[in-house]
Amino acid sequence: QVQLVESGGGLVQAGGSLRLSCAASGRTTSAYIMGWFRQAPGKVREFVAAINWSGDITSFEDSVSGRFTISRDNAKDTGYLQMASLKSEDTAVYYCAASYFSGSYVPQQPYRYPYWGQGTQVTVSS
């Protein structure tokens, strides 16, 4: 299995940027998909973005497409979520997750990801 630790959250003004990191350890030599999800107070956890092992397949939730980018450095066992043009509605706890899903796409459903980090808070002030 893989263990995940997020970092990089914080308080930022609307229109600003943040980069989240997700450090992986454990079974990192096997190809895994890295996903990012978020959960705002009183809301269900929602998909944000995901990237496959080689980095050539990505997927974004519609509201973040064009503002967020996802990347990974397998040599460093680290994934990144670069967030720009942040809005107050982006405020949430952000989680990274890992999946050994072997399909030809990156899944968006949380149940496809058995491994989760502890989350990092992102607060966007308006």
Specify the pairing of strand 68-73 against strand 46-51.
Answer: unpaired
pLDDT tens for the chain, 126 residues: list them. 899 999 999 999 999 999 999 999 988 778 999 999 999 999 999 999 999 999 999 999 999 999 999 999 999 999 999 999 999 999 999 999 999 998 889 999 999 999 999 999 999 998
Quote the pLDDT of residue 82: 98
Residue-wise pLDDT for 98-115, tens only, equals: 999 988 899 999 999 999
* CB count in 10 Å sphere of residue 72: 21
Q: Which whole-number Å values give the CA distances from 60 to 38, 51, 72, in the listed order?
A: 12, 9, 15
Q: What is the DSSP string of 13-60?
A: ETT--EEEEEEEEES-SS--EEEEEEE-TTS--EEEEEE-TTS--EEE
